[in-house]
Amino acid sequence: MGAFSRQKFFQELAHGCLLPTAQQGLEQVWQLLVICLLCRLLWMLGLPSFVKHLGTVAGGFYTLYLFFELHMIWVVLLSLLCYLFLFLCRHSTIRGTFLSITVLIYLLLGELHMMDTTNWHKMRGSQMVVAMKAISLAFDLDRGVVTSVPSPIEFMGYIYFVGTVIFGPWISFNSYMEALEGRKLSFSWLFKVSLSWIKSQICLVISNCVAPYLFPYFIPVYGDKLLRSKKKRKIRGTAAKWLLAYENTMSFHFSNYFVGYLSETTTTLAGGGFTEEKENLKWDMTVSKPLSVEFPRSMVEVVTSWNLPMSRFLHTYVFKSALKFGTFSAIMVTYTASALLHGLSFHLGAVLISLGFITYIEHVLRKRLAVIFNACILSKKCQPTCTHRNKKGLWVYMINIVFSALAIMHLTYLGSVFNSSVDYMEEDEDDITHHTIQKWSELSWTSHWVTFGCWISYRLIL
């Protein structure tokens, strides 16, 4: 949508952006939704388990072909490699570590040598889901959570579960086996599917039609001064640069929430994503918590709320395994593993590694301040039974608000590198590197300097 007056913009918004965006979103995924529903109905028929697994594999294969066509063979090769490794090392007790290394080597070789970067990046989400499932299964076998190596059809059913094979999220092998039993259709199930779908479409519309035009039109901070193309307003002073960075960040955030809610929809529609206590069944899968990201208490809260299943995966299988090397080392290993799973993109790696330093320094600084002031100012909200003397004083709220403001600043700074122009640079890593450095230079490397200042403050009061 070009540059309009505010009145003209809102007149054009509905048929120029809102309706086309919602229509395209439905056109791209309606077949996936139908296959997920068919999988759900198949699991309810009381058929033998191997038939259910075969149906799931068939649905997963067809879905992969719909989205990636013959390039899906690279996802299939990764799954076959993982099962071959698990079978050959079935008597080992360190399968998780070795399979993690094997998977990362495959992903790196695939991106560098096996095929062109553009098509490889299109499959990055599915590759990540397959890799995370296989790695988690290997660690669960090592720890006795899963007692024996699954049969080939069980493994493939888990890997190609149609509810997660395209958009995720990661689920454990035991969760898949529980879902395979086939729960009855219910109003709560239908409500969860419908609500997640509606939320996904709202986030898609905000990402495409609201966030990119937030300050010139929806919140006219400078009146008509910013009603120009972004090329013309990118050099209109520090404040305008931060506003533009926030627009980019918000658009990126809501595109992530769109995928998160869509993955909730597909997983629940296919019969997964529930918890069961005694006879109380709850369809309560949560992938993202947008409010905890947009209005954060801390950056620690942001990284856990961004993608809850992936956060659990990284904490359970990476962080805990690396904790023997120390907390800081475990945090950096975790973020490095996340960066490698996301692929060899400079801007993703730079953001994730920066997040590692930011979250660690914020955590230790607030932990130290909480001890000094005996107050509830930790990165995570204290429990009602905590022993801190100062819980609700005005100055306690003010300190937490300051750290919340810093977190929003960090998010704006880090998210400024994600905009639509990056999508056209995927084949040229030098362009992405230059783009990332340029964006952070325009914002005077503020987040990195603030993080360094927080580290100095922490060392001084240690």
Q: Which helix (H) or strand (E) holds 202?
A: helix 187-205
Those residues with Cβ within 8 angstroms of residue 329's Cβ, 6 or more apart along the chain or in another chain: 322
**pLDDT band with cut points at 50, 70 and 90 for residue 424:** very low
Give residue-wise pLDDT tens across range 226-262: 544 444 444 457 888 898 899 999 999 999 999 999 9
- Tell the residue number behind the tokens 């290997």, with chain if given: 138
Q: Is 215 left (phi over 0), alpha (psi -120 to 50) or beta?
A: alpha
Count Cβ atoms within 10 A of the Cβ of residue 456 and give its class: 0-12 exposed, 13-18 middle, 19 or more buried.
exposed
Give residue-wise pLDDT tens across range 42-94: 999 888 999 999 999 999 999 999 999 999 999 999 999 999 999 998 888 88
Q: In the annotation, is 342 catalytic?
A: yes
Average pLDDT, the chain: 90
Q: Which of 49, 51, 83, 96 is nearest to 156 (CA)?
A: 83
In terms of DSSP H, where are the helices of 110-185?
A: 117-122, 124-143, 152-159, 173-180
Q: Which of 458, 414, 402 is nearest to 440 (CA)?
A: 414
Euclidean distance between CA atoms 18 and 8, whole angstroms: 15
Euclidean distance between CA atoms 193 and 33, whole angstroms: 10
Give residue-wise pLDDT tens across range 1-16: 556 677 788 888 888 8
For residue 220, cis peptide bond before it (omega within 30 degrees of 0): no
Q: What is the pLDDT of residue 423?
A: 52
Please state the rounded mean pLDDT for residues 142-168.
Answer: 94
Q: Is 277 left (phi over 0), alpha (psi -120 to 50) or beta?
A: beta
363 and 451 in contact (C-beta within 8 Å)? no
Q: What is the pLDDT of residue 214?
A: 87
Give residue-wise pLDDT tens across range 27-46: 999 999 999 999 999 999 88
Q: What is the pLDDT of residue 426?
A: 52
179 and 274 in contact (C-beta within 8 Å)? yes
Euclidean distance between CA atoms 263 and 283, whole angstroms: 14
Q: What is the pLDDT of residue 46?
A: 83
**Which of the following is catalytic: 121, 253, 342, 410?**
342
Q: What is the pLDDT of residue 290?
A: 96
Euclidean distance between CA atoms 371 and 376, whole angstroms: 9
- Tell the residue number behind the tokens 């997963």, with chain if given: 60
Please state the rounded mean pLDDT for residues 115-137.
Answer: 89
Q: What is the pLDDT of residue 9?
A: 80
Count Cβ atoms within 10 A of the Cβ of residue 425 and give its class: 0-12 exposed, 13-18 middle, 19 or more buried.
middle
Helices (H) then strands (E): counts for the chain? 22, 2
Please state the rounded mean pLDDT for residues 95-101.
Answer: 93
Count Cβ atoms within 10 A of the Cβ of residue 460 and give its class: 0-12 exposed, 13-18 middle, 19 or more buried.
exposed
> Which residues is 344 bridged to in the sheet?
none
Euclidean distance between CA atoms 437 and 360, whole angstroms: 23
Q: What is the pLDDT of residue 118?
A: 77
317 and 145 in contact (C-beta within 8 Å)? no
Q: Which helix (H) or strand (E) holds 315?
A: none
361 and 454 in contact (C-beta within 8 Å)? yes
Q: Which of 447, 436, 451, 454 is nearest to 413 (CA)?
A: 447
Please state the rounded mean pLDDT for residues 332-341.
Answer: 93
Tell me: pLDDT of 350 over 80: yes
The verdict on pTM exceeding 0.85 is: yes
